[in-house]
Amino acid sequence: MKRFPTHIVAVFGVVENEHEEVLLLKHRHRDIWMFPGGQPGIACWIM
């Protein structure tokens, strides 16, 4: 049986509104702001 390599994929997005304001999220445990993102599920199709 052929085994495929396993990779960890992380994604993030830059989201702007009509006033060119950028969406940032404040980290729950650290005092930093960051772009929304995370790891997609196993069955997600990534292009």
> Is residue 42 scored above 80 in pLDDT?
no
> How far is residue 35 CA from its own chain's centroid?
8
The β-bridge partners of 26 are 33
> Which pLDDT score, from 0 to 100, does residue 11 have?
87
Nearest to 27 by CA among 13, 38, 17: 38
Please, which residues have CB within 8 angstroms of residue 32's CB and are 6 or more apart in sequence? 26
Task: Give rounded-to-5 percent helix, strand, coil for the chain.
Answer: 0, 20, 80
Residue-wise pLDDT for 2-34, tens only, equals 777 777 888 888 999 999 999 999 999 999 999
> Which pLDDT score, from 0 to 100, does residue 47 have?
65
Confidence of residue 46 (pLDDT cuts 50, 70, 90): low
Tell me the pTM. 0.57
